[in-house]
């Protein structure tokens, strides 16, 4: 369901796929109108207008992905989506240039009062005195939020001969130096900047960041811009600061409430220039984000590939290739341990060893958790909601990077604890092809391909047991694909693991259990 207008090329990409049934809404629908339409919807596409609230998510039991054709996802209840395992994706860079260009246009329009002069001309006036402005050259621009858009604004400002100060708690000094901006504290920007532009996301920290207290620290005659998110500049405080003469002008593209309510005092101030959230409204940006969102959603629905998810860690293609074999192995280990362990576990300890310590481990832990929690959560469990689900179940997840020397160059180990009881399995990647193998079960060495049906049993190490098992399985028409045997000492305790081509019947298992030397007979499906 395409809820907000996206580019025709994006819509065409969806329609091209014969597996999709695409609905394009003709107008933006409020929550109450959307609710009755979403029962069968699996994917929703929005821009900044349609609100994907918790209620909408609850009314859409089949929803798997929300795609934002743009950056900000503040119109999507990401927490509600995450709890349900719904991937929320955005298109982070498709509208960067357009928004940076709008910001720069606003900067110039603000400095030269172009919109005000234009309105006066349209009204038939010729008033040269009222619209005298200031130059940008040699002025100081303060940029709060030096991400994609902030960086592009900085480049344009430097080209215009401005000094650029940047405040961004997450920006490194070397990156700031490379961009030729001066990385300073917030108060220094307030004290030195002639223009201040904000380019951060809306967070608890940035909400209302430019308020009366902040304006008080600024230079008199400062001009401020917000092409990021409404509310980063407190609108009431801005009104007062302009009325009081502290702030000489403001350029706004975004607002605390959108669309703007009829009553909006800043509208009446001649020092304020405004656009209706146009940052991304260019042919180019819309084509970029429309195509990107269509490709990303299609790839997810058809192939399960996740890109630009805001509720999942993102991996670039190179890192993904490194992590991929561990994802598959991790999921199988999680599934194996879940089936061997009792249902109620209070702790899951995941240990990464050898080269596995060098790759991003969060996605691997999520895959392990997915395998582990599947039996509790069924098909609703995925990498998006596994951590939320684990904490809701009271399962503590501990992740350890180990430098212990083992026989394996890259390995994972998963241990589930239920009080004092521990069930564990270890896996490793073999050779250049990184073949996954289960290499430990409850500490016992094995070598098992983590695929299909596994039969596990502990037995006394005695002659004839392999023959007994083989004959019995054959009699019950179950083919053994491979076998792994290990024992502590000759004649001691042994662990036998078989890869089977089918699940043995209960009668077969009962017969096996009759042998007094055999115990802990289990069948698991990977
Ligand atoms: N007007 C529009 O139509 C339009 C279009 C695109 C994006 N946007 C908005 O512009 C903003 C920036 O987008 P972007 O693509 O550059 O995002 P980005 O994630 O690339 O950059 C945001 C930057 O803000 C920084 N930041 C976070 N918290 C901060 C804080 N407390 N103080 C200072 N810096 C902080 C981050 O470190 C990051 O570098 C977002 O709010 C986005 O929603 C608006
Ligand atoms: O966050 C964004 O990408 C911008 O606010 C653009 O919003 P829009 O897609 O509604 O133009």
Identify whether residues 301 and 372 lie together within a single domain.
no
Neighbours of 125 (CB within 10 A): 10
Q: Which residue, of 398, 428, 450, is where some domain finishes?
A: 450
Give the pLDDT score at 377.
66
Q: Which residue, of 415, 450, 485, is where some domain finishes?
A: 450
CB 160 within 8 A of CB 138: no
Using pLDDT thresholds of 50, 70 and 90, give the confidence band for residue 171. Answer: confident
Using a 10 angstrom Cβ sphere, with 0-12 exposed, 13-18 middle and 19 or more buried, the burial of residue 487 is middle
Q: Find the 68 Cα to ligand 2 centroid distance in Å.
A: 9
| Mean per-residue pLDDT of the chain | 94
Say whether pLDDT at 182 is over 80: yes
Q: Which of 156, 223, 277, 307 is catalytic?
A: 277
Give the total number of structural domains in the chain: 4
Identify whether residues 299 and 319 lie together within a single domain.
no
* Nearest in space to 110 (alpha carbons), one of 251, 220, 210, 12: 251
CATH number of the domain encompassing residue 109 = 3.40.50.720
Identify whether residues 432 and 510 lie together within a single domain.
no
Q: How far apart are CA 437 and CA 428, in angstroms?
A: 5
Identify whether residues 152 and 301 lie together within a single domain.
no
Counting residues of the chain whose pLDDT is more than 90, the rounded percentage is 85
Q: Find the 102 Cα to ligand 2 centroid distance in Å.
A: 12
Give the pLDDT score at 378.
66
CB 441 within 8 A of CB 425: yes
pLDDT tens across 92-141, in order?
899 999 999 999 999 999 999 999 999 999 999 999 999 999 999 999 99
The DSSP secondary structure of 408-427, one letter per residue, reads -SEEEEEEEEETTEEEEEEE
Burial 84-123 (b: 16+ CB within 10 A, else e): bbbbbbbbbebbbbbbbbbbbbbbebbbbbbbbbeebeee
CB 489 within 8 A of CB 466: no
Q: Which residues line ligand 2 (CB under 6 A)?
A: 47-49, 69-72, 95, 277, 279-281
Identify whether residues 424 and 294 lie together within a single domain.
no
Identify whether residues 164 and 146 lie together within a single domain.
yes
Identify whether residues 173 and 110 lie together within a single domain.
yes
Give the pLDDT score at 59.
98
Using pLDDT thresholds of 50, 70 and 90, give the confidence band for residue 20. Answer: very high
**Domain enclosing residue 298, as ranges:** 1-92+282-306
Give the pLDDT score at 281.
97
Pocket probe mutation, ligand 1, options 68, 198, 200, max atoms within 8 Å of Cβ: 200
Q: Whose CA is nearest to atom 18 of ligand 1?
A: 147
Q: Which residue, of 450, 472, 499, is where some domain finishes?
A: 450
Sign of CA dihedral 276, 280, 286, 291: negative
Give the pLDDT score at 389.
85
Closest atom of ligand 2 relative to the 277 alpha carbon: 11
Q: Coil, strand or helix: which one is 62?
A: coil
Total count of residues recorded for the chain:
526
Instruction: State both tokens at 336.
Output: 């194996």
Identify whether residues 403 and 467 lie together within a single domain.
no
Identify whether residues 255 and 135 lie together within a single domain.
yes
Identify whether residues 472 and 435 lie together within a single domain.
no
Using pLDDT thresholds of 50, 70 and 90, give the confidence band for residue 169. Answer: confident
Q: Which of 68, 156, 229, 366 is catalytic?
A: 229
Average pLDDT over residues 358-385: 87
* 366 labelled catalytic: no
What residues have CB less than 8 Å from 50, skipping those under 6 apart?
Answer: 3, 4, 25, 28, 29, 34, 44, 75
Ligand (nearest to CA of 199): 1
Does ligand 1 have an atom closer than 6 angstroms to the CB of 276? Answer: no
Identify whether residues 298 and 370 lie together within a single domain.
no
* 277 labelled catalytic: yes
Does ligand 1 have an atom closer than 6 angstroms to the CB of 47? Answer: no
Identify whether residues 150 and 259 lie together within a single domain.
yes
Ligand (nearest to CA of 189): 1
Does ligand 1 have an atom closer than 6 angstroms to the CB of 372? Answer: no
- DSSP structural state of residue 25: -
CATH number of the domain encompassing residue 353 = 3.30.1330.90
* Nearest in space to 217 (alpha carbons), one of 245, 248, 193, 181: 193
Pocket probe mutation, ligand 1, options 5, 105, 149, max atoms within 8 Å of Cβ: 149
Burial 440-449 (b: 16+ CB within 10 A, else e): bbbebebebb
Does ligand 1 have an atom closer than 6 angstroms to the CB of 72? Answer: yes
What value, to the nearest 5°, has the Cα angle with vertex 143 and ends 278 and 307? Answer: 60
CATH number of the domain encompassing residue 508 = 3.30.70.260
Instruction: State both tokens at 482.
Output: 């491979």
Q: Find the 72 Cα to ligand 1 centroid distance in Å.
A: 8
* 229 labelled catalytic: yes
């Amino acid at each position: 369901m395409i809820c907000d207008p996206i580019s025709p090329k994006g819509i065409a990409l969806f329609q091209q796929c014969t597996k999709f049934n695409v609905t394009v809404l003709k107008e933006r629908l409020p929550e109450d109108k959307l609710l009755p339409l979403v029962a069968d919807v699996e994917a929703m596409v929005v821009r900044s207008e349609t609100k994907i609230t918790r209620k909408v998510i609850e009314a859409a039991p089949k929803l798997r992905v929300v795609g934002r054709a743009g950056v900000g996802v503040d119109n999507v209840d990401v927490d509600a989506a995450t709890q349900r395992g719904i991937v929320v994706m955005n298109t982070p860079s498709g509208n960067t240039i357009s928004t940076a260009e709008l910001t720069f246009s606003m900067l110039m329009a603000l400095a030269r009062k172009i919109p005000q002069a234009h309105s006066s001309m349209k009204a038939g006036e010729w008033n040269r005195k009222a619209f005298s402005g200031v130059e940008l050259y040699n002025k100081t621009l303060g940029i709060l939020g030096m991400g994609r858009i902030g960086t592009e604004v900085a480049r344009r400002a430097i080209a215009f001969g401005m000094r650029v100060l940047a405040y961004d708690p997450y920006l490194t000094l070397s990156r700031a130096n490379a961009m030729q901006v001066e990385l300073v504290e917030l108060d220094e920007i307030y004290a030195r900047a002639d223009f201040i532009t904000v380019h951060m996301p809306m967070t608890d920290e940035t909400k209302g960041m430019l308020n009366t207290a902040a304006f008080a620290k600024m230079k008199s005659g400062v001009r401020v811009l917000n092409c990021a998110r409404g509310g980063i500049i407190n609108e009431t405080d801005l009104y007062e600061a302009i009325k009081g003469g502290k702030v000489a002008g403001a350029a706004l593209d975004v607002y605390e409430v959108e669309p703007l309510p009829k009553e909006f005092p800043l509208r009446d101030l001649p020092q304020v220039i405004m656009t209706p959230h146009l940052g991304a409204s260019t042919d180019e940006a819309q084509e970029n984000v429309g195509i990107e969102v269509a490709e990303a959603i299609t790839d997810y629905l058809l192939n399960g590939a996740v890109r630009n998810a805001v509720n999942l860690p993102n991996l670039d293609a190179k890192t993904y290739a490194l992590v991929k074999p561990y994802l598959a192995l991790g999921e199988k280990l999680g599934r194996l341990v879940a089936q061997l362990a009792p249902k109620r576990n209070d702790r899951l300890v995941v240990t990464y060893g050898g080269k596995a310590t060098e790759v991003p481990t969060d996605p691997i832990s999520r895959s392990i958790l997915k395998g582990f929690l599947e039996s509790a959560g069924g098909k609703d469990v995925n990498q998006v909601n596994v951590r939320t689900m684990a904490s809701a179940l009271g399962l503590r997840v501990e992740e350890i990077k180990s430098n212990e020397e083992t026989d394996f160059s890259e390995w994972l180990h998963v241990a589930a604890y239920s009080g004092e009881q521990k069930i564990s399995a270890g896996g490793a990647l073999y050779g250049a092809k990184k073949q996954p193998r289960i290499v430990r079960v409850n500490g016992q060495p094995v070598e098992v391909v983590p695929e299909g049906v596994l039969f596990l049993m502990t037995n006394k190490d005695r002659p004839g047991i392999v023959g007994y098992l083989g004959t019995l399985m054959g009699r019950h028409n179950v083919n053994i694909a491979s076998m792994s045997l290990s024992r502590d000492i000759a004649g001691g305790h042994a662990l036998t693991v078989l890869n089977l081509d089918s699940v043995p019947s209960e009668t077969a298992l009962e017969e096996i259990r009759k042998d007094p030397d055999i115990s802990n007979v289990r069948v698991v499906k990977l």
